Amino acid sequence: MDSLQVLAPAAALVAGFAHALEPDHMAAVTTFVSRRPRPLEAAGFGLRWGAGHSAAIIVVGCVLIALNVQLPDGVARGLEFGVGAMLLGLGVWLLWGVLHERAHRLAGGAQAHAHGHTHGRGSLWVGLAHGLSGTAPLVAALSASLSGSPLRAAGYLLLFGVGTTLAMALYAVAAGLVFHQAGHRVPALAGTLRALTAVGSAAIGVLWMVNAAGGA
């Protein structure tokens, strides 16, 4: 057994772990967690995002590897643009929720609906979109590093997905604790953090769209 075979599984897990903590991924999951930050719910968002991301990476990646093809550059850029639009939409959705809650409180409502309209499966579909946009560069790197072995590449993709999912679940719990503690100790701070999350997600989305449109 050569050194590559020994190191590849660990490298796949570490690479997946690091990949999960990219700005666009964190921004997307944080928009969900900010609305329902309790640890179990937050972990659920992270796990569902990871499941969607991993499914896209494994299925599409294995097809591309088996057929020995690469996604056209225009398609890859289109997927990146779509991720940017999705992040912009998530930011607008979260900001609308924050403003709605604030208006409800100012109008004398009994209790703001901080957690009422978060769709549990939303993070799954967001993860799927992220996985689709990230498949092309990952498969290109695999083709160069794993000597064209489809079975080895498929195993790498599987472990990469495991690392990504675990990392995002841990991140989601950590982010959820921040929002939960902020809301418990200083309720107004929780709304401010959600608003900042919304603006950050929208800003990253616009940046992704600009980069995709410009071919960056």
CA-CA distance, 35 to 94, in Å (whole number)?
8
Residue-wise pLDDT for 128-150, tens only, equals 999 999 887 888 777 655 555 77
pLDDT for 114 equals: 45
Contact, 38 vs 176, CB < 8 A?
A: yes
CA nearest neighbour of 211 among 145, 133, 150, 148? 133
Q: Measured between alpha carbons, how far is residue 186 from residues 76, 82, 93 in Å? A: 43, 36, 23
Residue-wise pLDDT for 55-103, tens only, equals 999 999 888 888 888 888 889 899 999 999 999 999 999 999 888 877 7
User: What is the band of 120 on the pLDDT scale with cuts at 50, 70, 90?
Assistant: low
Of the candidate ranges 10-24, 29-43, 71-85, 119-133, the one whose mean pLDDT is the lowest = 119-133
pLDDT for 200 equals: 96
CA-CA distance, 111 to 127, in Å (whole number)?
32
